[in-house]
Each structure stands twice: as C-alpha cells, then as structure tokens.
C-alpha cells in the first residue's frame, strides 16, 4: 500500500479513507487523518511504526518544554540558554538516529532503513528550529504535532512541509472544486510515474544488462538523457500525487518542482528541483552557517558543507558524495565567477544546464566507480579509451522504441506546455485527457507489479 501508484492504494485505502474523512465532523477530521496515516505507515513498515511514534512523542515533549520556556512577557537569558541546550540535544539525537539507521542499512541489511525516516526526521528538525526561533506562535498540541510528522501523503517521500503550512481540521476549507483539483493533480502525477518514468526506466535497465562497454556513444548519451527524465518524472509525479492528496484533504498545494530544466544555471536548477529539500538545507544549514553574507572563503565552505550533506542524504555510496561535491563546485564557480554571464545569455545558460545536469545524474545513478568510469569513457570515447561498441547502430533501435516517451517528456519539460495544461485544467478536453491517462495507468498497473518510486530509498 505504500506506493501511491498501486492499485491497492488507489482502489481500497484511498476511497475508504476519503469517505470516512468527509463524513465525520470537522473537529474529528484530524484524528481520522492521524489514525489513517499510522495505518498507512504500519502496512508499509509494520516494525518501524514504533520508532515513528517514539520519535514523535520525544520531539513533542521536548518541543513543548522549549515552547514553555518562551512564554511570558519577558524572556530571560537563562531561558534562552536552556532553550538552546534543548534544541541542540534534540536535533543531535534526531541526526544520530538518522545516521544510525543509514549505517545499519549500509553495513548490515538494507531492510533496516525505516520507511521515510529521512523525511519525517527533517520535519522534526525543522519543527524544533521553528519553535526555538519563535516562528510557531501557538503552543502545539500532541494531535497536531503527531499529524504533522506522520501525514500519510508526505511521510514516505515528502515534500518536507513546514509546520505552519498546515491547518488543523476545523480551520481547513473544503469544496468540490478543491477536491476536483486534487484529483487532477493526482492523475497527472500518476501519468508521469507510470506512462513516462516507468517506461524510461526500462531503457536504463537495458543499458545495465547489456553492459556499458558494449553500447555506442550516441546510446550512452541517450541513456543519460533518459535517466534524467526518468528521475524527474518519477519524483515530480510523486510530488504531484502527494500535493493532490493534500488538496483533497483541505490543505494548500505544495509546489516541489518548478520547471528545473528551463534553468540557466546549476544553482537555479536546484532552486527549482525538490524545492522543499533545498529550502530545508538553505534555512536550517546554509543560512545559520552564515549563508552568502560573508567572506569568500567562508562562502565556499558553507556551500561545500551543504552539498556534501546533500550527497550523503541521498545515499551511502561514494558516488553520492562525489555527486554532491561536483554540484557544489559548479555552484561555487557560478557564485564567484560566471553565474551572471550565464543568466544574461539565456540560450547559453540553458545549454549549460542541459549538458551538465544529465552528466551529473550519471554519477548519481552508477554506484560502482569502475562502471562509472566505463560509462564516462563511452560518453567521451576520445579520452576514455573504452574501445569500440559491439553495435554502433544500437541508437536506431532504441530511438524507435523510446522516441515517443522522450518526445512526451521533453514537451512536459517546456514551461509553457505544462502551464497551459494547468491553467486550462477545468477545460473538458483537459479533463478528458486526464481521465484517459488515469485509466491507461490503471491498465498498465494491472498488467505488472509496478516500480516503486525512486525516492522511497532515500
């Protein structure tokens, strides 16, 4: 049931849950949503539901104590010091829990990584930091806090919503139009996942099965582009489905991607890609360290730390650290040297992004450094010494098989195309298109086991 792109979730859990959720009075909706979220999580990871509840209780009581120290007309120095100590202690513990289970999954057994732990612990850290800063005005009660940490549309793979972005059951607004919009976002995201990401995943799997030494240089570049689109539509699709569910439940839509492939620099790309994760690192790591308002050497250090942490967060292999370092270096170079030039010449900036981002995703995708070297040798045969491909004409076959998916993916990467569809989402033709997309997805899902979302493993 964990996957939103699963028939059990779409035709069993979700309809039953929504009926109960809408039937009960507003004052009980949060309780229904909380229990529904725990059931959703427990079915996906029955053992680690205990960990989620324990960490929820711990973070709630520490947060309650921290908030209590800030009450009153005047806050004394000793209160601020005690608040800070509590903040450091609870954040350190949350990070240690994350490091512990990441380590266990790497060195002992992959099944020891609790479902969604990176996402709900980041929520807990942001919650504590916002309480300390005074950005959460009211003293949260347990039900609201537990719901924020475990909300089922987000608990598995985000987006990383802030506490103040949600409203309790009695304050949320509901309307048929809002529910319809949520369904449309959900259907659009499902289509991106099943009809684009899952199909393009077959191409990347084929290249791995063939062996990177055996593919031609054109096919290697097609594979890099295909993986880039696969990852994008997998996670953008998930984010649309998640935000669509939130809209159905009365929350605001949370945008997690904003046309990243239309960016003019790597820095801009990652301000548009997985925006809630980027804003988390910006607000809780980069800015507290000094941000960009500091001397050059400190700026370089701050950016390097953020991107090394980003790489480590995504995976335990050295390739993820390398991926983070490469992006950090590129962003540092943009900040210090040529970033303004890229922004001033749009075509140059777009080409720069469209060349470097797929190459960076190759580093992200291939965990074996030897195989990574072989793939780059195939991408750049004049310097890699990878030898002659077994079939130099393989690109023709794969373009015939996957050309339609590339064409659809590239169209949806153009901001004007998706914005047009979003703007005219109430048009009967757009509704009909989404209806067809949804049932095509159901057909393909019924014929296969379906692929899990890629970000489930982070």
314 is catalytic: yes
- How much is the pLDDT for 1? 55
| 7-53 pLDDT tens trace | 999 999 999 999 999 999 988 999 999 999 999 999 998 999 999 99
- Could you say which of 76, 259, 314, 424 is catalytic? 314
Classify residue 296: in a domain, yes or no.
yes
Classify residue 164: in a domain, yes or no.
yes
323 and 344 share a domain? yes
Tokens of 356: 């470097």
372 and 441 share a domain? yes
152 and 295 share a domain? no
Region of poorest pLDDT, from 171-185, 274-288, 380-394, 436-450: 380-394
- How much is the pLDDT for 294? 86
Report, as an integer, the average pLDDT of 80-99: 94
Classify residue 162: in a domain, yes or no.
yes
289 and 336 share a domain? yes
127 and 250 share a domain? no
Percent of the chain residues past pLDDT 90, beyond the cut: 72
Among 170, 191, 210, the domain boundary falls at 170
Percent of the chain residues past pLDDT 70, beyond the cut: 94
- How much is the pLDDT for 429? 94
138 and 214 share a domain? no
Classify residue 393: in a domain, yes or no.
yes
Domain extent at residue 279:
178-457
Cα–Cα dist 284/289, whole Å:
9
- How much is the pLDDT for 451? 63
Report, as an integer, the average pLDDT of 146-154: 95
Classify residue 16: in a domain, yes or no.
no
- How much is the pLDDT for 317? 83
pLDDT band of 452, cuts 50, 70, 90: low
pLDDT band of 442, cuts 50, 70, 90: very high
**pLDDT > 90? residue 235:** yes
| 154-209 pLDDT tens trace | 999 889 999 988 766 667 888 889 999 999 999 999 999 999 999 999 999 999 99
134 and 225 share a domain? no
142 and 290 share a domain? no
pLDDT band of 70, cuts 50, 70, 90: confident
| 294-325 pLDDT tens trace | 899 999 999 999 999 999 998 888 899 999 99
Higher-pLDDT residue of 136, 19: 19
395 and 446 share a domain? yes
Contact of 52 with 114, CB cutoff 8 Å: yes
**pLDDT > 90? residue 80:** no
229 and 113 share a domain? no
119 and 264 share a domain? no
- How much is the pLDDT for 108? 87
Classify residue 429: in a domain, yes or no.
yes
Q: Judge if the upstream peptide bond of residue 159 is cis by omega within 30 degrees of 0.
A: yes
Among 170, 201, 220, the domain boundary falls at 170
Tokens of 16: 């039953």
Could you count the other beta carbons within 10 Å of the beta carbon of residue 53?
A: 16
pLDDT band of 239, cuts 50, 70, 90: very high
- How much is the pLDDT for 387? 59
Among 143, 170, 197, the domain boundary falls at 170
pLDDT band of 385, cuts 50, 70, 90: low
Contacts of 403 (CB under 8 A, 6+ apart): none
For the chain, the three-class secondary structure string (H helix, E strand, C coil) is: CCCCCCHHHHHHHHHHHHHHHHHCCHHHHHHHHHHHHHHHHHHHCCCCHHHHHHHHHHHHHHHHHHHHHCCCCCCCHHHHHHHHHHHHHHHHHHHHHHHHHHHHHHHCCHHHCCCCHHHHHHHHHHHHHHHHHCCCCCCCCHHHHHHHHHCCCCCCCCCCCCHHHCCCCCCCCCCHHHHHHHHHHHHHHHHHHHHHHHHHHHHHHHHHHHCHHHCCHHHHHHHHHHHHHHHHHHHHHHHHHHHHHHHHCCCCCCCCCCCHHHCCCHHHHHHHCCHHHHHHHHHHHHCCCCCCCCCHHHHHHHHHHHHHHHHHHHCCCHHHHHHHHHHHHHHHHHHHHHHHHHHHCHHHHHHHHHHHHHHHHHHHHCCCHHHHHHHHHHHCHHHHCCCCCCCCCHHHHHHHHHHHHHHHHHHHHCHHHHHHHHHCCCCHHHHHHHHHHHHHHHHHHHCCCCCCCHHHHC
pTM score above 0.75: yes
Classify residue 283: in a domain, yes or no.
yes
Q: How many domains does the chain have?
A: 2
417 and 389 share a domain? yes
- Look-up of token digits 């990574």: 372
Classify residue 10: in a domain, yes or no.
no
Report the interhelical angle of 296-314 vs 318-333 (nearest 10°).
150
pLDDT band of 450, cuts 50, 70, 90: low
């Amino acid at each position: 049931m964990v996957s939103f792109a699963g028939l059990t979730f779409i035709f069993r859990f979700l309809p039953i849950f929504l009926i109960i959720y809408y039937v009960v009075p507003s004052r009980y909706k949060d309780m229904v949503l909380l229990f529904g979220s725990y059931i959703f999580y427990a079915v996906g990871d029955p053992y680690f539901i205990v960990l989620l509840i324990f960490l929820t209780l711990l973070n709630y009581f520490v947060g309650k104590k921290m908030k209590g120290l800030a009450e009153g007309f005047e806050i004394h120095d000793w209160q601020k010091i005690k608040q800070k100590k509590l903040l450091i202690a609870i954040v350190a513990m949350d990070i240690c829990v994350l490091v512990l289970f990441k380590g266990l999954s790497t060195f002992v057994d992959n099944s020891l990584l609790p479902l969604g732990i990176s996402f709900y612990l980041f929520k807990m850290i942001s919650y504590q930091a916002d309480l300390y800063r005074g950005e959460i005005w009211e003293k949260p009660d347990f039900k609201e806090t537990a719901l924020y940490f475990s909300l089922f549309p987000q608990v598995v793979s985000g987006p990383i919503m802030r506490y103040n972005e949600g409203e309790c059951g009695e304050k949320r607004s509901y309307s048929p139009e809002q529910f319809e919009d949520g369904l449309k976002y959900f259907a659009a995201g499902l289509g991106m996942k099943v009809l684009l990401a899952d199909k393009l995943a077959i191409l990347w799997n084929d290249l791995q099965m063939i062996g990177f030494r055996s593919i031609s240089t054109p096919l290697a570049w097609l594979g890099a582009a295909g993986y880039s689109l696969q990852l994008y539509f997998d996670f953008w699709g998930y984010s649309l489905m998640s935000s669509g569910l939130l809209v159905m439940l009365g929350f605001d839509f949370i945008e997690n991607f904003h046309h990243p492939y239309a960016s003019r620099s790597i820095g801009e790309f990652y301000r548009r890609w997985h925006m809630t994760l980027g804003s988390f690192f910006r607000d809780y790591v980069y800015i507290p360290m000094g941000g960009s308002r500091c001397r050059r050497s400190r700026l370089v250090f701050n950016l390097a730390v953020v991107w090394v942490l980003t790489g480590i967060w995504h995976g335990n292999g050295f390739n993820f650290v390398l991926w983070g370092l490469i992006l950090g270096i590129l962003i540092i170079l943009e900040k210090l040297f040529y970033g303004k030039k890229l922004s001033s010449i749009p075509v140059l900036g777009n080409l720069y992004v469209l060349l470097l981002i797929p190459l960076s995703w190759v580093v992200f995708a291939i965990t074996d450094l030897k195989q990574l070297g072989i793939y780059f040798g195939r991408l750049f045969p004049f310097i890699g010494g990878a030898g002659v491909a077994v079939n130099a004409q393989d690109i023709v076959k794969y373009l015939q098989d996957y050309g339609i998916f590339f064409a659809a993916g590239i169209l949806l990467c153009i901001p004007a195309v998706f914005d047009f569809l979003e703007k005219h989402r109430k048009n009967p033709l757009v509704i009909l298109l989404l209806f067809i997309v949804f049932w095509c997805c159901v057909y393909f899902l019924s014929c296969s086991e379906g692929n899990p979302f890629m970000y489930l493993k982070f």
